[in-house]
Every structure is written in C-alpha cells, then in structure tokens.
Amino acid sequence: MKKLILFIILGVTINASAQEASVEKSIFSVQTGFAGLWLNNELKLANSIALRSEIGIEHDFTVGDHYDDAGFILQPVITAEPKFYFNLKKRNAKGKNISNNSGNYISLKTSYHPDWFVINLDDNITKNADLSITPTWGMKRAIGDHFTYEAGAGIGYRMVFIKANSNFGNAQSVDNFDYTNEQFLLYLHLRIGYTF
C-alpha cells in the first residue's frame, strides 16, 4: 500500500512538472546587440507560443541597402513576431532552465521601418519606409534571474516604399508616383537583454 501511494505521489509530481513547461505569461525586456537597441514584450498565446511586440532602433545593415554608402546610421523599427518555442517540454524534462522563455524557437518576424527619421543620415537623402517578413530560427537562454542572450537567423522578403523623387540608388520614380523595391534579405541577430 505504501508503494502504491508513493507511486501515485511520484506520478502526480512528474505530471505537474511536465505541465509547467510553458512560456511565461508576459515578459518585458530591453535588449542590445551590435546592431541596435530594442524594448520588447513577449505575451503568452499558448503553452509553446508567444507573441513578441517590439520597438527599437537598429543599424542600417539590418534594413538593407536603403542608404548605400551612408556610413553608420540608425533607423527606428516596429516588430510583431509570433514565436513557437518547440523544445520547452524537452528542456524541462531534462531539468534545464526554461525561465524567461529559455528555449529554441521558430518565428515569423514582421518588421516595419517607418520613414520618421534616420540618425546620422545626410539631410539631402530621402528617408524611405520598408516592411519585411522573415521566417526565423532562434534560441534564447537565461543568465541568472534577469539577463538573457538570444541568437537567430533567417531569410526573408522586404518591400521598400520609395517616395516620389527619391534618390534610392540610381533608380528614380516615374511621373512622381511612389513605388516599391522588392528585396530578399539575410537576417542574423545576436542580442543580450535584461528582463524586468
């Protein structure tokens, strides 16, 4: 009888710990890397799915060849990114840390770079907006209670919204109408962050 009770308690404990393998309800963090500074939130949609919403400022190579030969510039970005953390249960079962959504993920990163301003861009260069959609594979890990690091890579598609009379490369708009320039992009990121 004692063995049966012990077996039931052990089974309930194992089952309870397996059910805890879930993304956090809501995480606010600030992240930085060699390409910029971002403020974001990851909101739980399901046990393995979170929606990252983000606003930041990033270096030109993350947004493509909008401004060839402009040097080091920074442009604002707004991002919505659903993330599927596919190995939380496995990490939890092995006793690995899953706090602050520590795990591997795949996502669909959708970013908009508005034409509000571009830091360190000559005044005579027209500011152009763009929208990109990038399927991404990444990993995120917690360092202690508040710090995280994250790395990711993907190949995506971008539409640059060229303004009339823009000096985008050698291209000029026709009859003063706006147009788009479509591009494929390689996306890489490496960030360290602080979770509140």
In a domain, residue 2? The reply is no
Residue 105 domain-assigned (yes or no)? yes
Residue 15 lies in a domain: no
Residue at 1 is within a domain: no
Q: What is the pLDDT of residue 62?
A: 46
Residue 185 in any domain: the answer is: yes
Predicted TM-score (pTM) of this structure: 0.79
The CATH number for 120's domain is: 2.40.160
The answer to whether residue 4 sits within a structural domain is no
Q: pLDDT digit string (tens) for 47-60?
A: 999 999 999 999 86
On whether residue 5 sits in a domain, the answer given is no
Domain that holds residue 179: 25-195
The predicted pLDDT at position 11 comes to: 52
Q: Residue 16 falls within a domain, yes or no?
A: no
Domain count across the chain = 1
Residue tagged 């659903």 (tokens): 82
What backbone torsions phi and psi does residue 18 show, to the nearest 5 degrees?
-70, -35
pLDDT digits (tens, 9 = 90+) for 99-151: 999 999 999 999 999 988 888 877 777 788 899 999 999 999 999 999 999 99
